[in-house]
Structure 1
Amino acid sequence: MNYFEEQTDGEAMINSIKNGDQPLPRVTEGELLLDTYIRYLQVINDLKKCGYS
C-alpha cells in the first residue's frame, strides 16, 4: 500500500465515521491502565540505563 492509498483509506474511514456508518472506537479503562503501566516500565528502564537507583 502506498501513501496515496493510505490517504484514501483514511479519508474513507473519516467520511464513514462522519456519516455515522461506524461508531467511534472506545478505549476501555483496562486499555488505559495497561498503556500507563507500559509507559511507567519504559521510564523505569530509562532511569536504570542512566544509573539511577
Structure 2
Amino acid sequence: MTSNGDDRTRSGGSAAETGLVDRWTALDRGWQALALGLGVVAAHLVGQAL
C-alpha cells in the first residue's frame, strides 16, 4: 500500500522533513553507513579544531 502526501500533512510533518526522511530511507544501507561515517568524522574534526 502506498502513501500519499495527505497522511504526512495530517501527522504534522512538514514537506521538507518528510522529503529528507524519504530520501534517507530510499538510500541503500551502504550509502547510509558511508554518510553517517563521514558525519562522525566531520564532527570529530570540528571538535578537534575547537
Name whichever structure is richer in helix by fraction: 2
Q: Give TM-score, length-normalised by structure 1.
A: 0.45
Bigger Rg over Cα: 1
